[in-house]
Amino acid sequence: GNSVTQMEGPVTLSEEAFLTINCTYTATGYPSLFWYVQYPGEGLQLLLKATKADDKGSNKGFEATYRKETTSFHLEKGSVQVSDSAVYFCALSAGTLGRLYFGRGTQLTVWP
């Protein structure tokens, strides 16, 4: 079946620190992979995505590379800001149009 395992939080970092949030997946077929971000009181927003192996998704300084050999899609950012504080969800889509399988979410808090 399809599932996503995501690094448990919460993660607390100082501003300008390096961020990694691990995500691994199990899927039938060839899934597309996503990272969503949820700011307090708001809906989920697509942060980045990758649709095939070795693709790198990037946005707002965040990056994630689709690694088929390790079934991973780890989220990284070289220098986090206070405004990056949010909950981050890893997700995959396989088969049914738009149907997403989510990880548990990782709460990130960045201190100035």
Contacts with other proteins by CB under 8 A lie at 4, 36, 41-46, 89, 96-105
CB of 105 vs other proteins, minimal distance in Å: 6
Nearer Cβ to other proteins (80/92):
92
Contacts of 65 (CB under 8 A, 6+ apart): 50, 54, 55, 56, 57, 73, 74
Which DSSP category does 18 fall into? -
Residue 10 burial (C-beta neighbours within 10 Å; 0-12, 13-18, 19+):
exposed
CB of 8 vs other proteins, minimal distance in Å: 9
CB of 17 vs other proteins, minimal distance in Å: 23
Nearer Cβ to other proteins (14/99):
99
Rounded Cα gap, residues 49 and 44, in angstroms: 14
Nearer Cβ to other proteins (72/107):
107
